[in-house]
C-alpha cells in the first residue's frame, strides 16, 4: 500500500540526480525541500516535492501528517562489531583508573576477552542478543549497517559469528552487510605462531566463508602487536579471489603504511585513521578508497580524533561510522556521532549528515539502495520532531531528536 508523508518540516538529502558519493566541497551540498511531502510505494520512495504541489492520491493511500518533523535518509553505519557475547564495563573501570586500551589488552582484556566469552555462547543466544541490539539501532534511525566477525578467532567461532549475521540479514528490516574480520587479534593458541593463524584465515576461513556466501567484505586489524601490512595484503588478495572487497582497520594507534597499501590495492574503505601522516593523505587523494572516521571510539578511548576536517579540505569524501563494540565504542547512537563529528572534528552539519548517510552508504557498497532521498531507493527514513534548523541536530548533543524510523516503507 502507498503512504504519503505530509507537512514535513524539511526533507533532507534529496538526490534527484542520483549523484551519490560526495567529496571535498561537495560534502557541503545537502539538498533540502522545506515544507515537503514524500510518497512511498511499497518498500520504495516513489516521489517528493513541496507541499504547494501536493499530488492527488488514491483513496487507498495512507496519509501520515508528520507535523513539521524533519525527514532524513535513515543513517548508515558502515563499521560495527554488533555481534558480541558480553559487555566489558570491567575494563571501563580499569580505564577510569588510568589503564590505556593497549595496557588492558596486554593484561588479557580487549579482543581476546570478548573472544573467550563468544566462544562459550551458542549461536541461538548470540543471535537473540544481537537481534535486540539491531532493533535498538533501527529505533535510533539506522537503516543500514555493516557487521564484522572477529570475536570468534577460531574457524568454528568465526563461522558462527557470520552465520549469526546471516540470520540478522534475513530477520531484520535493516539492510545488513557482513565482513569477515578473521585477523582481529592473535588467538592465545597462536601466541608464538602468528603466521599459522594468518594461514588458517587465508587457506581455510576465507574460502569457507566464500563457499557459504557468509560475507560481503574482508577486514584486518593492521596495527602494532596485531597484524602487519603484509598480513593485510595477503587477506586482501585472498578476498579478491572470492570477490570480497576490503574494509580495513588502519592507523588507529600507529601509521604503518597500511593506508597507502590498502588504497593502492583498491580497498573500499580505510577506517579509524586517528594517526595520519602526509603519505597517508596523499595516498587517499590518489584513490577512491573511502576514509571512514569513528568519533565514538576516539571519545570513549580518549585518543585523538581522525583529522576529518583536513581530509575534506584536501578534497576527500569522508564517511562516519560508530565502530559499535564492547571494548572501544560501546555506543552506536548516530545522533551523538553526528555531534562528535561536528564538535570534535569540526565538520559542518551538512558535511556530517552526508558523511553519515550517502557517504556511509558508499562505504558499505549500498549506494543504489540507501543513503539519500531518491526515487526507487528503499524508503528508509529517520524522522525527527520539529526542529528550528539543520544545525540543531548536531548542536543539541545528547538530546533525542529522531522519534520514528521507517524501514522499507513501514514504521518500526
Ligand atoms: O575497531 N581496533 C580494533 N577493533 C575494535 C575494538 C575491538 C575491541 O576492543 O573489542 C575497534 O576499535
Ligand atoms: Fe572496529
Cα of 150 vs centre of ligand 1, distance in Å, is 9
Host domain of residue 69? 3-74+371-411
Give the mean model confidence (pLDDT) for residues 257-261: 98
Cα of 312 vs centre of ligand 1, distance in Å, is 25
Q: Specify the number of domains making up the chain.
A: 2
Question: Quick one: which atom of ligand 1 is closest to the CA of 326?
Answer: 10
DSSP-derived pairing of the beta strands 69-73 and 75-77 = unpaired
Closest CA to 251 of 235, 265, 264, 232: 232
DSSP helix/strand/coil, 42: coil
Domain CATH number, residue 398: 2.30.40.10
Residue labelled with grid coordinates 533525542: 400
Same domain, 12 and 134: no
Q: Which three cell numbers stand for residue 152?
A: 570468534
Q: 143 near 407, Cβ under 8 Å?
A: yes
Rounded-to-integer distance, Cα 35 and Cα 44, Å: 21
Q: Where are the beta strands (DSSP E) in 154-268?
A: 175-183, 217-222, 245-250
First to last CA, the chain: 16
Question: Quick one: which atom of ligand 1 is closest to the CA of 101?
Answer: 9
pLDDT of residue 17: 82
Rounded-to-integer distance, Cα 112 and Cα 94, Å: 16
Same domain, 91 and 152: yes
Same domain, 253 and 295: yes
Same domain, 69 and 80: no
Question: Quick one: which atom of ligand 1 is closest to the CA of 301?
Answer: 12
Give the mean model confidence (pLDDT) for residues 377-397: 98
Same domain, 274 and 293: yes
Same domain, 39 and 99: no
Same domain, 284 and 316: yes
Same domain, 184 and 329: yes
DSSP helix/strand/coil, 237: helix
Same domain, 243 and 185: yes
Rounded-to-integer distance, Cα 269 and Cα 229, Å: 15
DSSP helix/strand/coil, 236: helix
pLDDT of residue 76: 98
Q: Please tell me the residue having the least CA distance from ligand 1 atom 6.
A: 328
Cα of 295 vs centre of ligand 2, distance in Å, is 11
Question: Quick one: which atom of ligand 1 is closest to the CA of 252?
Answer: 2
pLDDT band for position 404 (50/70/90)? very high
Facing residues of 384 across strands? 402
Rounded-to-integer distance, Cα 397 and Cα 345, Å: 14
Q: What is the pLDDT of residues 291-341, one digit of tens each?
A: 999 999 999 999 999 999 999 999 999 999 999 999 999 999 999 999 999
Question: Quick one: which atom of ligand 1 is closest to the CA of 297?
Answer: 12
Rounded-to-integer distance, Cα 62 and Cα 307, Å: 45
Q: Please tell me the residue having the least CA distance from ligand 1 atom 9.
A: 327
Rounded-to-integer distance, Cα 255 and Cα 232, Å: 14
Same domain, 323 and 400: no
Can you spell out the DSSP letters for 102-170?
HHHHHTT-THHHHHHHHHHS-HHHHHHHHHHHHHHHHHTTEEEEEEE--S--SHHHHHHHHHHHHHHHH
Best of 101, 148, 184 to mutate for ligand 1, by most ligand atoms within 8 A of CB?
184
Nearest ligand to the CA atom of 81: 2
Best of 105, 222, 325 to mutate for ligand 1, by most ligand atoms within 8 A of CB?
325
Domain CATH number, residue 326: 3.20.20.140
Helices then strands (H, E): number in the chain?
A: 16, 16
DSSP-derived pairing of the beta strands 32-41 and 290-293 = unpaired
Q: What is the pLDDT of residues 212-243, one digit of tens each?
A: 999 999 999 999 999 999 999 999 999 999 99
- Is 0.85 topped by the overall pTM? yes
Q: 333 near 401, Cβ under 8 Å?
A: no
Rounded-to-integer distance, Cα 390 and Cα 375, Å: 23
Same domain, 67 and 83: no
Cα of 1 vs centre of ligand 2, distance in Å, is 39
Closest CA to 284 of 254, 248, 334, 338: 248
pLDDT of residue 105: 85
> Is 345's pLDDT higher than 90?
yes
Closest CA to 196 of 229, 222, 231: 231
pLDDT of residue 202: 98
Q: 194 near 230, Cβ under 8 Å?
A: no
Cα of 232 vs centre of ligand 1, distance in Å, is 16
Same domain, 123 and 150: yes
Amino acid at each position: 500500500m502507498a503512504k504519503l508523508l505530509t507537512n514535513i518540516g524539511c526533507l533532507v538529502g534529496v538526490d534527484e540526480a542520483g549523484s551519490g558519493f560526495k567529496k571535498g566541497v561537495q560534502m557541503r551540498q545537502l539538498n533540502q525541500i522545506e515544507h515537503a511531502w514524500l510518497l512511498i510505494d511499497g518498500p520504495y520512495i516513489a516521489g517528493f516535492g513541496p507541499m504547494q504541489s501536493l499530488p492527488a492520491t488514491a483513496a487507498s493511500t495512507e496519509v501520515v501528517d508528520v507535523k513539521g518533523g524533519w525527514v532524513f535518509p535513515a543513517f548508515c553505519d558502515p563499521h560495527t562489531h554488533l555481534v558480541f557475547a558480553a559487555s566489558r564495563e570491567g575494563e571501563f573501570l580499569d580505564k577510569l583508573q588510568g589503564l590505556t586500551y593497549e595496557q588492558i589488552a596486554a593484561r588479557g582484556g580487549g579482543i581476546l576477552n570478548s573472544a573467550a566469552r563468544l566462544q562459550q555462547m551458542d549461536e541461538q543466544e548470540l543471535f537473540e542478543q544481537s537481534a535486540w541490539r539491531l532493533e535498538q539501532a533501527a529505533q535510533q534511525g539506522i537503516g543500514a549497517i555493516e557487521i564484522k566477525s572477529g570475536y570468534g578467532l577460531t574457524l568454528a567461532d568465526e563461522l558462527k559469528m557470520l552465520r549469526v549475521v546471516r540470520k540478522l540479514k534475513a530477520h531484520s528490516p535493516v539492510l545488513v552487510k557482513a565482513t569477515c574480520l578473521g585477523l582481529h587479534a592473535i588467538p592465545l593458541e597462536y601466541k608464538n605462531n602468528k603466521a599459522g593463524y594468518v594461514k588458517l584465515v587465508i587457506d581455510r576461513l576465507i574460502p569457507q566463508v566464500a563457499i557459504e556466501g557468509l560475507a560481503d567484505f574482508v577486514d584486518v586489524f593492521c596495527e602494532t602487536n596485531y597484524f602487519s601490512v603484509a598480513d593485510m595484503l595477503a587477506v586482501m588478495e585472498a578476498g579478491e579471489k572470492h570477490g570480497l572487497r576490503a574494509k580495513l582497520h588502519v592507523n588507529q594507534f600507529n601509521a604503518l603504511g597500511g593506508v597507502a597499501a590498502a588504497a593502492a590495492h583498491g580497498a573500499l574503505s580505510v577506517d579509524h585513521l586517528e594517526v595520519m601522516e602526509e603519505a597517508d593523505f596523499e595516498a587517499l587523494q590518489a584513490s577512491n578508497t573511502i576514509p571512514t572516521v569513528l568519533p565514538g571510539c576516539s571519545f570513549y578511548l580518549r585518543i585523538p580524533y581522525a583529522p576529518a576536517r583536513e581530509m575534506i579540505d584536501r578534497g576527500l569524501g569522508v564517511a562516519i561510522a560508530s565502530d559499535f563494540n564492547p571494548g572501544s565504542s560501546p555506543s552506536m547512537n548516530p545522533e551523538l556521532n553526528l555531534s562528535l563529528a561536528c564538535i570534535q572534528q569540526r565538520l559542518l552539519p551538512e558535511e556530517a549528515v552526508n558523511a553519515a548517510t550517502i557517504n556511509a552508504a558508499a562505504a558499505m557498497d549500498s549506494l543504489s539502495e540507501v543513503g539519500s532521498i531518491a526515487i526507487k531507493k528503499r524508503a528508509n527514513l529517520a524522522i525527527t520532531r520539529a526542529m528550528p534548523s539543520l544545525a540543531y541536530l548536531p548542536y543539541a548533543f545528547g538530546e533525542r531528536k529522531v522519534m520514528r524510523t521507517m524501514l522499507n516503507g513501514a514504521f518500526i
